Chain A
């Protein structure tokens, strides 16, 4: 037995959860036609506000709520700048990331290294002890299930509800949606706030559940991976789940292969999750017509009612 498949499954689910949370939020934002490159910044703000709330209140639930609010507040800056003041989305998103990293370092001064309340698993030990499926399906904290439920909910809303149809219409052609009487700006702002809350939750998951500490710059680029996953999934929620599990799975597997001493160069193993992401992205984008069909047509375009 080189690598235990059960513990690998457990690990890949945990590893991919923060990516999944941040990416599903960004997917909704991009479906509405807005490109927010500030995911990393919103994540780290969520991480610090979540951690501060956990330390101050001792409640894990409040910590996650605080993380969502932190991410949401930061994204509201992006929403105002890009939707009301019509600033460039790429530049504003990048600035949001830089701002988030700096602000989180400031907010977190003095908080690192404070003991944390534990995050509990939701299913009883009896269920976790069931062989094979017990640890994989029942051995997690609530946030892990919530992330998967969120993907399902986003899929349902986007494809089976009127609200989802309107959101997609805004993302495909804001002029047409505007002509039909939909409030393009309002819908996009709500989508941006949703994306901010998801990214914030993802950051809080990282600081409160995974690492259980606040450390400057702790997201270490996860927000950028989440952005790549949205393209990887060609803006489809279920593919996002597959993409996140694939990335998380390879990340978890390569560490186990190293520990199992299989004799593959370490540098190659360390790079493998990124290499495979690039490879799959290249394969997906090789068919230009299909990619163009999936990408929201108005992605990144500025809308003003006069135009």
Chain B
């Protein structure tokens, strides 16, 4: 039904634009654009869950429209412009690559609010960016992986060697090493966010190389299917991936955008919306640790939850010194934690990771 509404809203712009504007009585309209399909069971799926939660929270006061599989670039500009001409008061763009298009459209429509996920460009006062501290979740999954591996080889499927992914790998590695000094990570970058067959092949390749726990920073459940067959463990990415409970999926890091969208839409409706660069984690429940299931021992379960709680309370930062870069150069001194700026741009592996970053 929602999809139909979307099609009508986006497709029949001419008709919508021709209607006289009666902004006061009309519901506040929020337009979402996604780079992928909301049926990916991962990234775009969780953003759409956030949209649905927000829609339900506000009832008739807010209307949402949505366009999925929008190409980054000129096409995104066209879709956003059509949404605005169709009455959208706020645009939520959920992919990093929408940045230039968001800022171009924001300049033309200064009265429309823009929220751009994982972006950094805020060229106009009506553009905000938001992101989640996924590395906090990866500290916990790394902790569990370090305990659960028997071969002491943990496989990690990455999408691209970009800061978000590298930061997650570092965080997971540090916390696996902390509990298991012999653990080694094997990394594969598959060069895509979403290609189930390729992700399955990558998982199989890692298992063939001796890995018995698979971490992933790609969006499909394919590595779980392979893990199920091979008897290895996996972790849900972006969504809970509950289909694979209680094993091979032993826990997950769930993106929780609903409350964030509710806050931002409420602020816009109240007139208190301000430009910001949100980067929230366990503390704000922007990410949630999924249920820990399967053969995870009770003491590991307890220590994993304790780790999550200490991160959430701010007592512990997943990157707490001493931490050296891969080549041995000191990065953080004893007890030191990084500023958000350098952390956001992290483009190196930490000491102990044997794979080399080639890009």
The 8 closest A-B pairs by CB, nearest first: A270-B191, A216-B37, A255-B205, A7-B208, A216-B39, A212-B225, A265-B358, A220-B195
Check B205–A113 contact: CB distance below 8 A: no
Segment from A59-67, A256-264, A293-301 that makes contact with B: A256-264
Cα–Cα distance between A215 and B39 once the two chains are bound (Å): 6
Check B161–A215 contact: CB distance below 8 A: no
Cα–Cα distance between A255 and B229 once the two chains are bound (Å): 19
Taking the complex as formed, is A267 at the interface, i.e. its CB lies under 8 A from any CB of chain B?
Answer: yes
Chain B residues positioned under 8 Å from A218 (CB to CB) = 196-197, 220
Would you list 12 pairs from A and B whose C-beta atoms are within 8 A, ordered by A residue?
Answer: A14-B204, A109-B3, A113-B221, A113-B242, A212-B228, A213-B243, A215-B40, A222-B197, A252-B201, A256-B209, A260-B186, A266-B189
Chain B 184-206 interface 0/1 with A at a Cβ cutoff of 8 Å (1 = within): 00111111101111101110111
Q: Say which residue of B3, B36, B221 sits within 8 Å of A211 (CB atoms).
A: B221
Check A259–B188 contact: CB distance below 8 A: yes
Cα–Cα distance between A105 and B222 once the two chains are bound (Å): 18
Check B359–A266 contact: CB distance below 8 A: yes
Shortest Cβ distance from B235 into chain A, in angstroms? Answer: 16
Check A210–B206 contact: CB distance below 8 A: no
Taking the complex as formed, is A27 at the interface, i.e. its CB lies under 8 A from any CB of chain B?
Answer: no
Check A252–B358 contact: CB distance below 8 A: no
Check B197–A112 contact: CB distance below 8 A: no
Check A210–B197 contact: CB distance below 8 A: yes
Check B186–A11 contact: CB distance below 8 A: no
Check A258–B195 contact: CB distance below 8 A: no
Q: Say which residue of A112, A215, A259, A270 sits within 8 Å of B186 (CB atoms).
A: A259
Taking the complex as formed, is B74 at the interface, i.e. its CB lies under 8 A from any CB of chain A?
Answer: no
Taking the complex as formed, is B354 at the interface, i.e. its CB lies under 8 A from any CB of chain A?
Answer: yes
Cα–Cα distance between A14 and B3 once the two chains are bound (Å): 36
Check A211–B358 contact: CB distance below 8 A: no
Given contact pairs A210-B200, A211-B220, A266-B358, A105 touches B37 in the complex (Cβ within 8 A): yes
Cα–Cα distance between A255 and B222 once the two chains are bound (Å): 15
Check B356–A115 contact: CB distance below 8 A: no
Chain A residues positioned under 8 Å from B37 (CB to CB) = 105, 215-217
Cα–Cα distance between A50 and B191 once the two chains are bound (Å): 28
Given contact pairs A210-B197, A266-B161, A261 touches B221 in the complex (Cβ within 8 A): no
Check A215–B188 contact: CB distance below 8 A: no
Which residues of A come within 8 Å of B, CB atoms? 3-4, 7-8, 11, 14-15, 18, 105, 108-109, 112-115, 118, 206, 210-213, 215-222, 251-252, 255-256, 258-261, 263-267, 270-271
Cα–Cα distance between A219 and B195 once the two chains are bound (Å): 7
Shortest Cβ distance from A73 into chain B, in angstroms? Answer: 22
Chain B residues positioned under 8 Å from A263 (CB to CB) = 356, 358
Check B191–A266 contact: CB distance below 8 A: yes
Closest residue of chain A to B45, judged by CB? A112
Chain B residues positioned under 8 Å from A7 (CB to CB) = 204, 208
Chain B residues positioned under 8 Å from A264 (CB to CB) = 358
Check B208–A8 contact: CB distance below 8 A: yes
Cα–Cα distance between A143 and B159 once the two chains are bound (Å): 30
Check B201–A213 contact: CB distance below 8 A: no
Chain B residues positioned under 8 Å from A221 (CB to CB) = 195
Check A255–B221 contact: CB distance below 8 A: no
Q: Say which residue of B69, B222, B359 sits within 8 Å of A213 (CB atoms).
A: B222
Taking the complex as formed, is B332 at the interface, i.e. its CB lies under 8 A from any CB of chain A?
Answer: no
Cα–Cα distance between A259 and B201 once the two chains are bound (Å): 12
Check A267–B192 contact: CB distance below 8 A: no
- Which of A219, A252, A260, A261 has the most CB atoms of chain B within a 10 A radius of its CB? A261
Given contact pairs A216-B39, A266-B191, A259 touches B155 in the complex (Cβ within 8 A): yes
Check A260–B209 contact: CB distance below 8 A: yes
Taking the complex as formed, is B355 at the interface, i.e. its CB lies under 8 A from any CB of chain A?
Answer: yes
Q: Say which residue of A8, A206, A215, A266 sits within 8 Å of B221 (CB atoms).
A: A215
Cα–Cα distance between A265 and B188 once the two chains are bound (Å): 11
Taking the complex as formed, is B268 at the interface, i.e. its CB lies under 8 A from any CB of chain A?
Answer: no
Shortest Cβ distance from B126 into chain A, in angstroms? Answer: 32
Check A259–B196 contact: CB distance below 8 A: no
Shortest Cβ distance from B285 into chain A, in angstroms? Answer: 23
Chain B residues positioned under 8 Å from A258 (CB to CB) = 187-189, 205
Cα–Cα distance between A125 and B205 once the two chains are bound (Å): 22
Chain B 172-187 interface 0/1 with A at a Cβ cutoff of 8 Å (1 = within): 0000000000000011
Q: Say which residue of A3, A14, A216 sits within 8 Å of B40 (CB atoms).
A: A216
Cα–Cα distance between A256 and B354 once the two chains are bound (Å): 15
Cα–Cα distance between A202 and B192 once the two chains are bound (Å): 22
Q: Say which residue of B38, B161, B206, B356 sits within 8 Å of A261 (CB atoms).
A: B356
Chain A residues positioned under 8 Å from B356 (CB to CB) = 261, 263
Closest residue of chain B to A270, judged by CB? B191
Check A211–B205 contact: CB distance below 8 A: no
Cα–Cα distance between A260 and B201 once the two chains are bound (Å): 15
Taking the complex as formed, is B41 at the interface, i.e. its CB lies under 8 A from any CB of chain A?
Answer: yes
Check B221–A213 contact: CB distance below 8 A: yes
Cα–Cα distance between A105 and B45 once the two chains are bound (Å): 13
Chain B residues positioned under 8 Å from A105 (CB to CB) = 37, 39
Check A215–B209 contact: CB distance below 8 A: no
Closest residue of chain A to B192, judged by CB? A220
Check B201–A251 contact: CB distance below 8 A: yes
Check A255–B196 contact: CB distance below 8 A: no
Check A213–B209 contact: CB distance below 8 A: no
Check A11–B204 contact: CB distance below 8 A: yes
Chain A residues positioned under 8 Å from B208 (CB to CB) = 4, 7-8, 11, 256
Cα–Cα distance between A288 and B194 once the two chains are bound (Å): 38
Check A261–B358 contact: CB distance below 8 A: no
Chain A residues positioned under 8 Å from B204 (CB to CB) = 7, 11, 14, 252
Check B355–A261 contact: CB distance below 8 A: yes
Cα–Cα distance between A210 and B167 once the two chains are bound (Å): 30
Q: Say which residue of B36, B198, B243, B359 sits within 8 Å of A267 (CB atoms).
A: B359
Closest residue of chain B to A114, judged by CB? B243
Cα–Cα distance between A215 and B198 once the two chains are bound (Å): 13
Cα–Cα distance between A266 and B192 once the two chains are bound (Å): 12
Given contact pairs A220-B195, A258-B188, A211 touches B225 in the complex (Cβ within 8 A): yes
